[in-house]
Structure 1
């Protein structure tokens, strides 16, 4: 089949160039090799495609019909090449991004809005879930993942280290009081991130002092957004990514708890399946994400 397609391309070149010699020069072949391709086509289809004279070549009726199909095949191949080049060089098509639910709070939108505005041929499809998603199976172009990455089938690029802060609604702190030391968190309602009601380890550091607490969850969730919503509703204290709650803190809807104590920063990575060449849409998206995560 591949040889037949090659012969069709050679035949189309003969017609477009006007002679076998010219077709040979255009294709980097000898005229005899070009002639051989045409003879193979005629033998295969049991019909003459060209009238040959010493002065010129003219199409037979069958040759004219066959040439239209050959030309359409080449046009489709050229169009495919143009589309592949566009995917390589320009951010076009559907960009599929997976991320934990905690990133649904606005950071992704803020990072990628300029990319979408500048590229009308690009669309965005987001998958927010805290469970690990198979990038290949779900045709994910790019995933955001937190924590150290060890999957050798993926390529991970470090974006930033996100600081975490303890927060609560002003109404909760007004009713229950503000803890002054980490140990006082045991006296408060803790909104933890897990799927059961087990103990949640919390490590806090202030200069040379380190406190490791195992807090009993009053509310446990596997969703960062859900935990944030409960905190906003005055249901307890939660640990949240600082960039994701900056707006709530500035507006006074949330308040820092133990601001002089620091929780460990969490490394955030952009993860892609292993590919020799990334499409332009992925390269550009990673650049915009890197800029957003670096500047905050």
Structure 2
């Protein structure tokens, strides 16, 4: 590896025809170029160039070595071009992980990006379980709520409001709660990734009053979409993301319960392996996702 620089300098000298021309091209002094060539010859015990004050001539060994050194320099230049292209133009495979509920949003946000960049491919891993991002070779992950300790870099995108929702027929059967205290007598559908059965809900009124209650879910799951469907089917009350609930509220499949009481919103994060030197595919995807998610109903900066 120590010889690579000297070999590149040797190739430049031969290609440009003189030590001084190579020195100018490489931003070195002529003496530095000469020292590199002498060190390369001494370390391998061969003479590569016959040098005089007026011209250079390749030895037989030098001619053979030059072909390989020139090929090495060309390969390095191609690698540099690839690095620049990766930095400037989205290309290659983008591996993106997100919760299942974010699948439709990812499709809408990333379709224009894929349409604009033919060299970009996409592999989506949508799962409500916490997959190992390193093992899955993830470039960009969307996560919601509290983040576990990690070496990954987290960027806050926005916050998603949570709404207490129920189906109209459920409220017709069980009665519509008029206060947080009445929520204890209702059936609950809860997203829960742990074995803890109880669900603790903290509500704040528009006036600033706070209320905390602990309920036992009738149904719990790590899949928010499944719980939302059960909520629409009339099985109970659920906390649903504002963007997820928007269409069902608009079309009357769900009704917001206690609209004057709010829960703390969920933070939405983008995770990447490193903060700096992001390839173009990650930078562009992050911009597309951030813009789309922030514009969805109920999202907050």
TM-score, normalisation: structure 2: 0.83
Give the count of matched residue pairs.
Answer: 294
Q: Helix, strand or coil for the counterpart of 1:278?
A: coil
Give the structure 1 partner of residue 247 of structure 2: 247
Matches within 5 A, 1:148-163: 148=146, 151=149, 153-163=151-161
Give the structure 1 partner of residue 188 of structure 2: 190
2:114 is aligned, of 105, 109, 116, to 116
The CA deviation at 1:9 is: 0.2
TM-score, normalisation: structure 1: 0.84
Unaligned residue ranges in structure 1 (runs of 5+): none
C-alpha distance in structure 2 between counterparts of 1:74 and 1:180, whole Å: 76
Matches within 5 A, 1:139-150: 139-148=137-146
Equivalent pair of 2:129/2:222 in contact (CA under 8 Å): no
Q: Helix, strand or coil for the counterpart of 1:217?
A: coil
Equivalent pair of 2:164/2:239 in contact (CA under 8 Å): yes
Matches within 5 A, 1:1-296: 1-2=1-2, 4-52=3-51, 55-104=54-103, 106-148=104-146, 151=149, 153-194=151-192, 195-196=194-195, 198-208=197-207, 209-296=209-296
Equivalent pair of 1:143/1:271 in contact (CA under 8 Å): yes
Q: Helix, strand or coil for the counterpart of 2:293?
A: helix
C-alpha distance in structure 2 between counterparts of 1:173 and 1:280, whole Å: 50
Which stretch shifts more, 16-25 or 250-259? Answer: 250-259
C-alpha distance in structure 1 between counterparts of 2:112 and 2:144, whole Å: 24
The CA deviation at 1:171 is: 4.5
Unaligned residue ranges in structure 2 (runs of 5+): 297-301
Equivalent pair of 1:107/1:244 in contact (CA under 8 Å): no
C-alpha distance in structure 2 between counterparts of 1:93 and 1:129, whole Å: 23
Equivalent pair of 1:197/1:217 in contact (CA under 8 Å): no
Equivalent pair of 1:101/1:128 in contact (CA under 8 Å): yes
C-alpha distance in structure 1 between counterparts of 2:249 and 2:63, whole Å: 74
Equivalent pair of 2:88/2:280 in contact (CA under 8 Å): yes
